[in-house]
Amino acid sequence: MKKIVELISEDLKQAFALKGYDEKYGAVTVSNRPDLCQYQCNGAMAAAKVYKKAPIMIAQEVVSALQENSKIKNIVAIMPGFININLSDEFLATYINSMREEKDFGCEKEAAPKKVIIDYGGPNIAKPLHVGHMRSAIIGESLKRILKFMGNDAIGDVHLGDWGTPMGLVIAELKRRKPDMIYFDESFSGEYPTEAPFTISELEDIYPTASAYSKENPAFLEEAKRITYLMQNGHRGYMALWKHMQEVSVTDLKKIYDNLNVSFELWKMESDAQPYVTDMVEYLKSNNYARISDGALVVDVKEETDTKEIPPFMILKSDGATLYSTTDLATIVERVKLFDPDHMIYITDKRQELHFERLFRCAKKTKLVKEDTNLQFIGFGTMNGKDGKPFKTRDGGVLRLEHLIKMVTDEVYRKVMENRSMDEEEARQVASKVGLAALKYGDLSNQAAKDYVFDLERFTSFEGNTGPYILYTIVRIKSILDKFYDTGKAISNDSDILPAASGVERELMLQITRFSDMIHLAYEEQAPHRICQYIYDLADKFSSFYHDTKIISEENSEERQASLILMITLVQDILLTCIDLLAFEAPDRM
Ligand code: ARG
């Protein structure tokens, strides 16, 4: 279904052409002065220069050609040459009724759908998740849903970190604690136990200890590196421990992501790319893409236009060990082989930007991807505390994701219990949904690249630009609808939404019609915050409308009653679709 700006632009273009001007000047936009008009066209100003005429003259001519247009209530030329447009209420109502009937509210999908791999989440095995991983998961999940909504084949890959020194550190620490474990008996050749020798909480306790210890103890770090190397090269006992770490971590991570309403099509790991490394290195060498520098194998990726120093991309360290960069390049090889994607998106903290810039240059230069494969990095900013510094726990430690989630849900729980009578269990369920919305909306309503301040009080407020406010609007509509249907009333199939009966109603209707504009913008800019902006406005317009309008009333004619019910149902459906794109859900009550 065409957008209103497109439909009105077509008419304006015709009018420009009719009056002897190039039709391109007829482009219409949403008004930036909503107090004056709903839509505007500034084409007469540009045309004036070309046709050497006063802009107001051109505007007046065009306006005169559109006086009988049924979509338009009034159209006027304003000095120095603006064209201000208000739509007719009949047209607005007809448009909204079509939105109601069409799938996805008539939103037109991507004309050339792409296969997109989206690499987000990126947790590391044996290490607790922190806030950075949370942002990646929240933003990635929403972007993936937007891509899918627009008709693309989007494949999310959690891309677990399971191949680096942290593995060696954990194993070295285990060895220090329990040297007698069978995994460390070099002469053992039997089957290792299927049960892991640690739980997830033990595992998460081991890593920080090991990491801290390695900083004071160089010999321990060396040992961890040696173990990493041996593990990567097939040491049986270390590999068995590493497999245990994978299992224990993945089970735990699946639960965490489930609670976050985040899900991945692929649970690939860094280690999955390792089988591709040998051939890739061979390919890079034999095609002279790689060179030896201080014993290491590197690919030069700097370009003449660079204004800053871009170091070569390292493929193998001088001791032959692989690194993060090797794994990422081999993962590209793997993805091309298994999926042949048109587009790959990576979502991490923006501090990794240079790594990805060099990775992409390397992949393109060495022709490991096709020239037209779109490789894209989306870097996000930091979640800060109110002091403007990265959010920390009270004792100054790195905040763990579960604790953050608990903090938010506890606060929502407190608020829910404060104003309402609800049994404990229901309140807990409500708090977990509303808490997640508070956290996600607080994050997604900002441009991803920007830092933002985590403000518990504001994020969990039921008023203002917050997740809970959006959910509150949905719940409120639901309760009105329940009230209506509970009386045994029904809406007949041939009912329609009628032209607006008041200013607030018209405002609400205009906002509804802008759904597709908003989705297309969110898609083009890869910007979930556009959705947040839109639903906040929609919820706000609904609220004014609700305040002024008797939705269920004996005074309403049957037709008018049906129209109102259909309208608020549509608002609810749009809100639900939007929060699904942001990946949170609404409770039944709150
Ligand atoms: N595991 C990494 C980290 O914690 C993020 C991985 C991002 N994805 C990638 N393909 N490099 O920083």
Centroid of ligand 1 to alpha carbon of 171 (angstroms): 21
11 lines ligand 1 (CB under 6 A): no
Given the CA of residue 161, which atom of ligand 1 is nearest to it? 1
CA distance to 202, 355, 389, 440, 583, per residue, from 451 (Å): 33, 20, 10, 15, 21
H/E/C letters for each residue in 362-376? HHHHCCCCCCCCEEE
346 lines ligand 1 (CB under 6 A): yes
Nearest CA to ligand 1 atom 2: 122
Helix (H) or strand (E) holding 139: helix 131-149
Tell me the Ramachandran region of residue 126: left when phi exceeds 0, alpha when psi lies from -120 to 50, beta otherwise: left
Query: Would you say residue 238 lies in a domain?
Result: yes
According to the model, what pLDDT value does residue 13 have? 98
360 lines ligand 1 (CB under 6 A): no
According to the model, what pLDDT value does residue 422 have? 86
Query: Would you say residue 92 lies in a domain?
Result: no
What's the CATH number where 36 sits?
3.30.1360.70
What whole-number distance in Å separates Cα of residue 193 and Cα of residue 171?
A: 16
CA distance to 87, 303, 334, 353, 555, per residue, from 506 (Å): 10, 55, 53, 45, 20
Residue 515's closest CA among 110, 6, 104? 104
- Both 169 and 255 in a single domain? yes
328 lines ligand 1 (CB under 6 A): yes
Tens of pLDDT, residues 321-370? 889 999 999 999 999 999 999 999 999 999 999 999 999 999 999 999 99
| Those residues with Cβ within 8 angstroms of residue 468's Cβ, 6 or more apart along the chain or in another chain | 412, 434, 437, 438, 460, 461, 462, 590
According to the model, what pLDDT value does residue 551 have? 94
Rg value, the chain, Cα: 29
Query: Would you say residue 216 lies in a domain?
Result: yes
Centroid of ligand 1 to alpha carbon of 137 (angstroms): 12
Residue 309 token pair: 């120093």
Given the CA of residue 160, which atom of ligand 1 is nearest to it? 1
Centroid of ligand 1 to alpha carbon of 121 (angstroms): 8
Query: Would you say residue 546 lies in a domain?
Result: no
- Both 83 and 169 in a single domain? no
Nearest CA to ligand 1 atom 12: 122
Last residue of some domain: 191, 225, 259? 259
pTM of the complete model: 0.95
* Probe residue for ligand 1, chosen from 334, 344, 347, 348 as the CB with the greatest number of ligand atoms within 8 Å: 348
Given the CA of residue 352, which atom of ligand 1 is nearest to it? 12
* Probe residue for ligand 1, chosen from 130, 155, 159, 401 as the CB with the greatest number of ligand atoms within 8 Å: 159
348 lines ligand 1 (CB under 6 A): yes
According to the model, what pLDDT value does residue 395 have? 67
Query: Would you say residue 220 lies in a domain?
Result: yes
Q: Which structural domain range is residue 83 located in?
A: 4-87
Query: Would you say residue 519 lies in a domain?
Result: no
Tens of pLDDT, residues 401-453? 888 999 999 999 999 888 777 899 999 999 999 999 999 999 999 999 999 99
Tell me the Ramachandran region of residue 348: left when phi exceeds 0, alpha when psi lies from -120 to 50, beta otherwise: beta
Last residue of some domain: 259, 294, 313? 259
According to the model, what pLDDT value does residue 402 have? 85
Residue 187 token pair: 């002469």
Nearest CA to ligand 1 atom 8: 122
Last residue of some domain: 239, 259, 279? 259
The segments of the chain whose pLDDT lies below 70 read 393-398
Query: Would you say residue 177 lies in a domain?
Result: yes
Given the CA of residue 328, which atom of ligand 1 is nearest to it? 10
Tell me the Ramachandran region of residue 455: left when phi exceeds 0, alpha when psi lies from -120 to 50, beta otherwise: beta
Supply φ then ψ for residue 128, to 5 degrees: -65, 150
Centroid of ligand 1 to alpha carbon of 113 (angstroms): 27
Structural domain count of the chain: 2
Query: Would you say residue 563 lies in a domain?
Result: no
Q: Report how far Cα 244 is from the mean position of its chain's Cα atoms.
A: 32
CA distance to 255, 413, 474, 475, 554, per residue, from 425 (Å): 20, 10, 21, 18, 38
